[in-house]
Structure 1
Amino acid sequence: MASRVAVHQGPNPKANLGAGKQKIVQADGKNRRALRDIGNLVPVPAAGGKTRISRPATRDGKVLVNGGKPADKHNKKAIADGAPGNVRKDAVKVKPDEVTVINSDKEQVDCREEFLRNGINRAGGKSGRTYTSTLLARSKVACGMANKPNDSIVDIDAEDVNNELAVVEYVEDMYNFYKEIEECGLVKDYMGLQPDINARMRAILVDWLIEVHRKFELMPETLYLTVNIMDRFLAMKTTPRTELQLVGLASMLLACKYEEIWAPEANDFIAISHNAYVRNQLLAMEKSILRKLRWNLTIPTPYVFLVRYTKASLPYDSQVENMVFFLAELGLGNYSTAILYRPSMLAASTVYAARCTLNKTPLWTETLKHQTRYSEDQLIDCAKLLVSFHSECGAAGNKLKAAYTKYSSPDRGAVALFPPAKCLLSVKASSS
């Protein structure tokens, strides 16, 4: 028996606008003509207990009937369009197996969720695997990829979603920006332009600044910004050796004003230098540095990348963190690492050298590669330099022991006392 369908006609524009309810207008049977096969129309319950008809499937503007064939004038029969039950006698009965049912929106959503959950079983079996996935699995087995461990990329910010200070929504964009502008803070080779100072004098100055930084209990960011300001100034202005320490003091004074909440005063820096300079000299050097740098102190230093890359070195280990910053401070004092490598590469190499020193496996993970954008081969040269600094800082004849003493204390894990990474030292010996 053909289904009885009620058609709900839209509001009449000539109807009274004050009417509270819409009226059901019955068709007169002259203006509306029904299809012979209305199996693609499904009565859908509407609000208020009324019934509406879902939209028929069409192709090129034509109504589809009888398995998708366009309707013509010979297979249309007129029926009354009115209340339920008013169906013309000549309406064609549709067999149940010929009715094509269009699912409602809710049923379509349920089917889609089941598809995403279980997948499409093209082979008709119970496994739910597609033909493509089967071929891909066979290819992996043939190539030996199926036996490799599952080293996937870990979302290192997942635990900080509710931490407002972690700014998870912007952290990726921030580090993309840091990678783009880090070239602005690169220091060119300036020792050839300095007739009165050399790399050894710079190393002595940085070693002393590490001690001053520890004495004042300053933030880690301050030390890295201090060295960056000092190097950029020395690359722009010829400086006599008598003013080299003054440049270091003024650079740390500026870095403290930029990074610290309670920055040491100028008199504190004068006192810690044993009154080698007076207050006016320190302030004059501070002004000179700002003019040369054009007040540009917002530079991504290695510390910015060290924090991010250490977080990506999973699982978290305090020894790895202390070793990373120990090797990074050794790299600050070396002129070659400051000139040859950009901050992001120096930070990534430091993390790699720290993991090698502590025998972490794997030495370089997919998560670290994703966050740093450096492969293990790109970091090997810089990491060997850092490990060589580690092997030399504990030597008896080495007088630059500020970083070594700082990280030999138990509160920093005494990581300086660990033996250097033998794997990197052996690579260096074989290559030489």
Structure 2
Amino acid sequence: VPETLFLCGNLIDRFLSARVVSLAKLQLVGITCLFVAAKVEEIVAPSVAHFLYCANSSYTYLRQPECYVLKTLDWNLSYPSPMHFLRRISKADEYDVKARTIVKYFLEIQCLEWRLLAAPPSLIAAAAIWLARLILGQDKWTPNLAHYSSYAESTIIPTANLKKIICNGNIIGSGNDRRKGV
């Protein structure tokens, strides 16, 4: 599920913020964090063998690295992912399936952008909804959307600009011209 991806990214980020890891062990950290995230979020988590296979059988164990990651994070696995906020904002958007599909794309590609690491997940979700609505020609940020997202349109635009840069290198302007060329 998408929550697994977001939790995994968060675990990796928090772990690497706490520990220095050699390049040789970076893949092990990633696989271990994905394994932990899958155990938390998935109904039926893949087996250890699947994760070891993804690592080209470079490792034969995950129990020790899993314990090390969990101890480093002080067993704190909670993370409000952008998907949680998307569900809330979608109430104001009447659960538009097309918009949600585009939003999920924006949420996934933002995982590759280091400049969005510091942005709160709620802002990431709101900016993704804003861009998706813009693409679908629903360019009005309603008071209802502002209420459910907790963000005014002017607050969302800088993050949306960054998401747009990630997608195609263009920057959305300000005012009415920001809707051109999307």
Within 5 Å, which residues of 2 pair with 1:100-119?
A: none
Q: Are the counterparts in 1 of residues 3 and 41 from structure 2 also a CA contact under 8 Å?
A: yes
Tell me which residue corresponds to 1:272.
54
Tell me which residue corresponds to 2:112.
333
Tell me which residue corresponds to 1:425.
171
1:383 & 1:324 partners in 2: Cα distance? 12
Deviation at 1:311, TM superposition (A): 3.0
Pick aligned residue for 1:377 from 129, 151, 154: 154
Secondary structure of the 1:239 match is coil
Pick aligned residue for 1:347 from 122, 125, 134: 125
Q: Are the counterparts in 2 of residues 310 and 324 from structure 1 also a CA contact under 8 Å?
A: no
2:66 & 2:83 partners in 1: Cα distance? 23
Secondary structure of the 2:173 match is helix
Within 5 Å, which residues of 2 pair with 1:300-319?
A: 300-314=80-94, 316-319=95-98
2:89 & 2:18 partners in 1: Cα distance? 31
Secondary structure of the 1:296 match is coil
Q: Are the counterparts in 2 of residues 353 and 384 from structure 1 also a CA contact under 8 Å?
A: no
Q: Deviations over 1:21-74 (max 9, x none)?
A: xxxxxxxxxxxxxxxxxxxxxxxxxxxxxxxxxxxxxxxxxxxxxxxxxxxxxx
Q: Are the counterparts in 1 of residues 164 and 172 from structure 2 also a CA contact under 8 Å?
A: no
Amino acid of the structure 2 residue aligned with 1:304: H
Pick aligned residue for 1:368 from 119, 141, 145: 145
Deviation at 1:252, TM superposition (A): 0.9
Secondary structure of the 2:124 match is helix
Which has the greater radius of gyration?
Answer: 1
Tell me which residue corresponds to 1:104.
none
Within 5 Å, which residues of 2 pair with 1:188-227?
A: 219-227=1-9
Gaps of 5+ in 2: 178-182
RMSD: 1.9
Deviation at 1:310, TM superposition (A): 2.5
1:310 & 1:343 partners in 2: Cα distance? 15
Amino acid of the structure 2 residue aligned with 1:377: S
Q: Are the counterparts in 1 of residues 107 and 128 from structure 2 also a CA contact under 8 Å?
A: yes
Deviation at 1:296, TM superposition (A): 0.8
TM-score by length of 2: 0.89
Tell me which residue corresponds to 2:34.
252
Deviation at 1:386, TM superposition (A): 0.7
1:370 & 1:245 partners in 2: Cα distance? 41
Tell me which residue corresponds to 1:67.
none
Deviation at 1:277, TM superposition (A): 1.8
Q: Are the counterparts in 2 of residues 257 and 263 from structure 1 also a CA contact under 8 Å?
A: yes
Within 5 Å, which residues of 2 pair with 1:29-428?
A: 219-279=1-61, 282-314=62-94, 316-339=95-118, 341-362=119-140, 364-391=141-168, 425-427=171-173
2:139 & 2:104 partners in 1: Cα distance? 20
Deviation at 1:426, TM superposition (A): 4.1
Q: 1:353 to 1:361 in 2, by over 3 A?
A: closer
Secondary structure of the 1:242 match is helix
Amino acid of the structure 1 residue aligned with 2:108: E
Extract structure 1 runs of 4+ deviating beyond 6 A.
none
Secondary structure of the 1:374 match is coil
2:142 & 2:15 partners in 1: Cα distance? 38
Deviation at 1:338, TM superposition (A): 1.3
Deviation at 1:293, TM superposition (A): 0.8
1:383 & 1:260 partners in 2: Cα distance? 30
Q: Are the counterparts in 1 of residues 161 and 172 from structure 2 also a CA contact under 8 Å?
A: no
Q: Identity over the aligned pairs, expressed in percent? A: 33
Deviation at 1:384, TM superposition (A): 0.6
Amino acid of the structure 2 residue aligned with 1:356: L
Secondary structure of the 1:360 match is coil
Secondary structure of the 1:425 match is coil
Amino acid of the structure 1 residue aligned with 2:123: M
Count of matched residue pairs: 176
Q: Deviations over 1:375-397 (max 9, x none)?
A: 011010000111111115xxxxx
Tell me which residue corresponds to 2:180.
none
Deviation at 1:235, TM superposition (A): 0.6
Q: Deviations over 1:205-227 (max 9, x none)?
A: xxxxxxxxxxxxxx221111111
Deviation at 1:332, TM superposition (A): 1.1
